Each structure stands twice: as C-alpha cells, then as structure tokens.
Amino acid sequence: MPELIVPDGLVCGVDEAGRGPLAGPVVAAAVILDPARPIVGLNDSKKLSERRRAALAIEIREKALAWAVAEASVEEIDRLNILHASLLAMQRAVAGLGVAPERALIDGNRCPRLPVPAEAVVKGDGKIASIAAASILAKTVRDAGMLVLHEQYPHYGFDRHMGYPTPAHFAALEAHGASPVHRRSFAPVARQLSLL
C-alpha cells in the first residue's frame, strides 16, 4: 500500500467517478481530511475491493473535517460533454463543503473553476490522501446510485457493470434500445438510437 501525502492546511482533494460509462450520472466528491485523525488504507478506489471501499467510505465520513458529494446528470453530460459535466460536478462538490478550503487538489490534468487556488495532479488518487478519499466517496456513491437505476431498468445489468461499456451492456443495448438514463452523446448509444 503506498504512503499517500497528506498536505498541510485546509486542502480539499477532489475526484470523480463515472466518466467512462454509457449510462448514469458522473459523480464527484471533495474531502478535507483531518491530520489528527488519519485513515489507514486510503488508495485509488479502483485498486480497492468493493468491501474495503465501503468500509473506508464510512470512516472518511466519520473522520474528515469536511466532505461533499455532487453529480452532473445524464442530461448535463449530453448537453455539455463528459469533461465539462465532470468539472461541473467537481465545482458542486467543492461548493458543498461545510468548511471552506484554502486550496484544492484535483485528480487528473484539468481543474474546474473554483473560488480557491486549484492544482491538477495526474494520478492524484494514488498519491494524495484527500484525493484518494474523494475517489472512494465518488465511486461508492455512484455505484449505489447505479444499483437504484438497476431496480428501475433491470434488463441492462447495471448492478454488474455499473453502466460501463461491457459486452453484456452492449448486448442489452442491442436487445432493448437505450433507456432514459443512457448518455445519448456517447457513440455506442447514439449508434443504437440511429438504428431504431
């Protein structure tokens, strides 16, 4: 497990989950960790088991100085494009923090417009503890939301692939067409709609 950096001061880490899927919202989280209450085992959410993510998400909510989760809808993704929708979700997450950060560290290579200085950190979820914490909250909240969508649209298998472009998802799209929660601006969905 890597030793992640915990920056000094009120620094929020920001990350998103769900840029690649063909369905569902993109979810972002912002977290300000408390250096006096360290959380052991933080890492890029994709490198953790589902069970470990769930346990860490509870601990992050309990121990962080502040945290917030926000999303951009499928409609916003289709209107703005996925990059700008992701940045919008990040803005909303930072705005939702109960404690104002002094600066923000953003996973990736682009920063949303924020009222505080922001720095992009490539692969930040594997380097900076607060970004790792944000990646865990974003992923667990998005996955929980996709399970709710699975209840509404069970024949797409969202409970298994969370909306990502898997062979099973492509087969379901072909069999059933696009649901209201599919991203119409994404090529595989647009192709399917043009076939109908």
Phi/psi for 168 (5° steps) reads: -65, -40
pLDDT tens-place string over residues 145-172: 999 999 999 999 999 999 999 999 999 9
What pTM value is reported for the model?
Answer: 0.95
Cβ contacts of 143 within 8 Å, gap of 6 or more? 17, 50, 162
Give residue 9's pLDDT.
87
Q: At what angle do helices 50-63 and 129-152 cross, to 10 degrees?
A: 120
pLDDT at 62: 98
* 118-119-125 Cα angle (round to 5): 115
Longest distance between any two alpha carbons in the chain, whole Å: 57
Strands 103-107 and 26-32: unpaired
Q: Which residues of 45-63 are buried (b: 16+ CB within 10 A; e: fewer)?
A: beebeeeebeebbebbeee
Distance, C-alpha 5 to centroid of its chain: 21
Distances (CA, A) of 133 to 92, 128, 137, 159, 179: 17, 9, 6, 23, 32
- Please list the rounded mean pLDDT of every run of 10 residues in the chain (196 residues): 80 98 98 95 94 98 98 98 98 97 97 97 96 98 98 97 96 94 95 75
**Nearest of 23, 21, 19 to residue 149 by alpha carbon:** 23
CA–CA distance, 3 with 115 (Å, rounded to integer): 30
State the pLDDT at residue 123: 96
Q: Quick one: pLDDT at residue 18? A: 97
Query: How much is the pLDDT for 1?
Result: 52
- Residues in Cβ contact with 184 at an 8 Å cutoff, skipping those fewer than 6 apart: 78, 178, 190, 193
The pLDDT value given to residue 8: 83
